[in-house]
Amino acid sequence: MVDPKFSLRTLSFKVRHLAFSAILFLAAYCLLSSCAQMVAPTGGPADKTPPKAVKYSPDSASLNFNRKQIRILFNEYIQLVDINKQLIISPPLKYFPDIRVKGKALVINIRDTLAPQTTYAFNFGNSIADLNERNALSNFQYIFSTGSFIDSVSLKGSVKNALTLIPEKDVLVMLYNTSDDSLPFRKLPNYFGKTKEDGSFRINNIRNGKYKVFALQDKNANYLYDTRDESIAFSDTLIDLQNKESVDLFLFNEGPKKQFIKKAKSIESGHLQFVFNKPVVDPSFTLITKSPEKRYHQFIELNTGSDSVNLWLPDYDKDSIRVIVASDNKVIDTLELAIPKRTDTDKKFKLTYKTNVLGSLDLNRDVVVKFNHYLDQPQNPVNDLIELFEDSIKSTAKDIVFLQEKSGLKIFKVTPGYDKNSNHSGSRPGQLLHEPWKENTKYKILIQPGVIQDIFGLKNDSIKIEFKTPELKTYGTLKLNWQLPSDLLGSVLQLLDDKDRVTREFTLKEKSGSVFMNYLIPQNYKLRLICDKNGNEKFDSGDYLKHRQPEKVIYYPGTMTIRANWDLEQEWKVGLKAGK
């Protein structure tokens, strides 16, 4: 007979043993489970290898191609990135193919009818990448021919902005095998490529022959030149690919052909504003009234770019107006506008001003006071009614000119004895015809109330303008010695600042000479020469249908650094083959 105490002790020991074993088992299970979890590796080199095509069906470079499906197998799982923008098919297909990823395979279903005896190139760009790391397969290509051979001719080149000569990226370069001028408006190209970051392009697998070359900044992605905000470039003649392997194109925007009014509004009583889609020439406004015999005074003011016009009607007393708008004797539109009534108690209707002075003024700049209304002709000379102080001392110098024109007032210095009654309307941007202000001097201009009057009879309140001029040593100077070939006489020379703004401008009418440019703010500058063939002293864009290229532009190689209190002398011998 078994001792009951022994049995209980034995049972208790076994239970404890089983419990301890269970704990050890659970601990071991948890440890093993944690080791088996899928976690991202914490070390080792990252996978930077793009996927690799290992099998094609049909093979790339196949001849007599007549399939509707292409299957390309890669060595790893893949994904497509921005395929609609990256994939370039040349010649283009009318219907974009159906492209899908199935595991490691890329499946292309062709939805279009392929042309006979034609080589097709599918350029995938960087649209194929591996699934995990997104390593892109760069410039992957698949080609085939519906004929008995693969076309092997290529064309390379570059596309640059016609004015700035900056390379243009993502621009379509299209080839047409005929010379019909209407091609880019209505027909897809025979071949095309796209420019890279540096503006370069290369189109491969072209059939040998002669082609019209056309570049397009395709805003609506339809391969057609069909909107006026799209920029273009074109070759003057057909390019024979047997004799020429490269071409450089210069992109420009033609701008709108037809003039129209973008916006017309009544600013206030007696003040209408018209904004045009392109600069107007000799604008005119004919009022349609019930009393045609009554003549209302008109004052017309164009903005700097001539694409906006202010029409002032000081004695027009109706609450609406119908007006015929014309430019260069051609009617643009007939408009009807409401005009707010002006009352004697209208406190908002008053003469105000703005000025270009912000505490300081460059030595070679005019003080410009811009009023919100067109100004009436002064009854007395404005010069005698405005005071100027130099370092708190009232100036009695006879070389200060106060010139009133339209809605502005210019204040500047001229050489003593200069005829103040002559035309002081200024010069082209940056040409210093006026005397500079004194350096390191405090100026104060006082215009007493009532000196300035607008066409509505309103007069100015008291105006005080204060500024200080810098020291002369804060500026640098540039002396440019130039030489030009005969065919570039009359070109426009421009000095551009570090923001590509024109700061000086000259017309070069001699084969050689020098220009001296002073009061230059220290920074980097560029020189640009516009080959002004029509003599209008500005850059003219091209016209495709008129076969007119944009005017040539030549840049001085490199930049010029202007330093404070420093004189720089530079030579520029412009060669016949410089620039473009």
CB atoms within 10 A of CB 285: 17
The amino acid occupying position 404 is: Q
CA atoms lying within 13 Å on the CB side of residue 236: 5
Nearby residues of 127 by Cβ (< 8 Å), 6 or more positions away: 80, 81, 82, 83, 86, 87, 136
Nearby residues of 322 by Cβ (< 8 Å), 6 or more positions away: 287, 288, 289, 334, 335, 336
What is the chain's mean pLDDT, rounded? 86
- Residue pair 332/341 in contact by the 8 Å Cβ criterion: no
* DSSP class of 487: G
Q: Please report the pLDDT score of residue 39 as a whole number.
A: 42
Q: Please report the pLDDT score of residue 433 as a whole number.
A: 54
What percentage of the chain carries pLDDT values higher than 90? 65
What are 156-210's pLDDT values in tens digits? 999 999 999 999 999 999 999 888 899 899 888 889 889 999 999 999 999 999 9
Residue 62, pLDDT above cutoff 60: yes
CA distance 427 to 451: 27
Domain borders along the chain are 53-145, 153-251, 261-338, 353-470, 474-573
Residue 32, pLDDT above cutoff 50: no
Residue 36, pLDDT above cutoff 70: no
CA distance 503 to 158: 30
CA distance 561 to 543: 37
Which of 234-238, 289-293, 513-517, 576-580 has the lowest average pLDDT? 576-580
Q: Please report the pLDDT score of residue 317 as a whole number.
A: 86
Query: Greater confidence, 49 or 418?
Result: 49
If we measure between CA atoms, which residue out of 426, 447, 452 comes closest to residue 505? 426
Could you give the C-alpha distances from 291 to 143, 220, 317, 321, 440, in angstroms and in order? 76, 50, 13, 12, 60
CA distance 184 to 506: 38
What are 88-131's pLDDT values in tens digits? 898 888 899 999 999 999 999 999 999 999 999 998 988 999 99
Nearby residues of 528 by Cβ (< 8 Å), 6 or more positions away: 493, 494, 496, 553, 554, 555, 556
What class is the 153-251 domain?
Answer: mainly beta
Q: How confident is the model at residue 9 (pLDDT cuts 50, 70, 90)?
A: very low
Residue 576, pLDDT above cutoff 80: no
- Residue pair 549/459 in contact by the 8 Å Cβ criterion: no
Residue 393, pLDDT above cutoff 50: yes
Query: Greater confidence, 370 or 417?
Result: 370
Which of 45-49, 350-354, 441-445, 541-545 has the lowest average pLDDT? 45-49
The amino acid occupying position 204 is: N
> Contacts by 298-305 with C-beta closer than 8 Å and gap 24+?
299/374, 299/406, 299/455, 301/374, 301/406, 301/407, 305/279
Q: How confident is the model at residue 35 (pLDDT cuts 50, 70, 90)?
A: very low
Q: Please report the pLDDT score of residue 400 as a whole number.
A: 79
Query: Greater confidence, 561 or 294?
Result: 561
CA distance 402 to 419: 13
Q: Please report the pLDDT score of residue 428 as a whole number.
A: 40
Q: Please report the pLDDT score of residue 126 as a whole number.
A: 86
Q: How confident is the model at residue 416 (pLDDT cuts 50, 70, 90)?
A: low
CA torsion sign, 37 to 42 to 47 to 48?
A: positive
What are 244-262's pLDDT values in tens digits? 889 999 999 998 888 999 9
Rounded to an integer, what is the distance from CA 366 to the centroid of its chain? 30
- CATH of 474-573, picked from 2.60.40.10, 3.40.228.10, 3.30.450.40, 2.60.40.3120, is 2.60.40.10
Q: How confident is the model at residue 379 (pLDDT cuts 50, 70, 90)?
A: low
Angle at CA 52, nearest 5°, toward 47 and 56? Answer: 160
CB atoms within 10 A of CB 163: 18
Q: How confident is the model at residue 457 (pLDDT cuts 50, 70, 90)?
A: very high
Q: Return the H-helix or E-strand segment holding 502.
A: strand 502-508
Q: Please report the pLDDT score of residue 44 as a whole number.
A: 54
Residue 475 tokens read as: 């500026």
> Residue 524 pairs with which residues in a beta bridge?
561
Residue 578, pLDDT above cutoff 60: no
**Rg, C-alpha atoms of the chain:** 37
Rounded to an integer, what is the distance from CA 198 to the centroid of its chain? 17
Angle at CA 294, nearest 5°, toward 290 and 299? Answer: 110
What class is the 353-470 domain?
Answer: mainly beta
What are 495-537's pLDDT values in tens digits? 999 999 999 999 999 999 999 999 999 999 999 999 999 999 9
Q: Please report the pLDDT score of residue 289 as a whole number.
A: 83
Q: Return the H-helix or E-strand segment holding 85.
A: helix 83-86
CATH topology of domain 53-145: Immunoglobulin-like (2.60.40)
> Residue 100 pairs with which residues in a beta bridge?
107
Query: Greater confidence, 435 or 525?
Result: 525
What are 437-454's pLDDT values in tens digits? 999 999 999 998 998 999
Residue 5, pLDDT above cutoff 90: no
Phi, psi angles (nearest 5°) of residue 280: -95, 155
Q: What is the mean pLDDT of residues 47-62?
A: 92
Q: Please report the pLDDT score of residue 426 as a whole number.
A: 36
Q: Please report the pLDDT score of residue 561 as a whole number.
A: 97
CB atoms within 10 A of CB 29: 10
Q: Please report the pLDDT score of residue 395 as a whole number.
A: 79
Q: How confident is the model at residue 382 (pLDDT cuts 50, 70, 90)?
A: low
Residue 7, pLDDT above cutoff 60: no
Could you give the C-alpha distances from 498 to 393, 396, 489, in angstroms and in order? 38, 39, 27
CA distance 154 to 244: 10
* Alpha-helical segments (H) within 342-448: none
CB atoms within 10 A of CB 233: 26
Angle at CA 535, nearest 5°, toward 530 and 537? Answer: 55
Residue 165 tokens read as: 């000569």
- Residue pair 533/551 in contact by the 8 Å Cβ criterion: yes
Q: How confident is the model at residue 347 (pLDDT cuts 50, 70, 90)?
A: confident
Q: What is the mean pLDDT of residues 366-378?
A: 91
Coil, strand or helix: which one is 105?
strand
- Residue pair 206/265 in contact by the 8 Å Cβ criterion: no
Domains 53-145 and 474-573 share a fold: yes
Q: Please report the pLDDT score of residue 70 as a whole number.
A: 97
Q: What is the mean pLDDT of residues 14-32?
A: 46
Rounded to an integer, what is the distance from CA 107 to the centroid of its chain? 39
Give the architecture (CATH level 2) of 261-338.
Answer: Sandwich (2.60)
Kindly write down the DSSP assignment for every residue of 244-298, as one continuous string. --EEEEEEB----SS--EEEEEEEETTEEEEEESS--SSEEEEEE-S-TT-----
The amino acid occupying position 561 is: T
Nearby residues of 462 by Cβ (< 8 Å), 6 or more positions away: 446, 447, 448, 449
Q: What is the mean pLDDT of residues 338-349?
A: 80
Residue 53 tokens read as: 């095509």
CA distance 233 to 548: 11
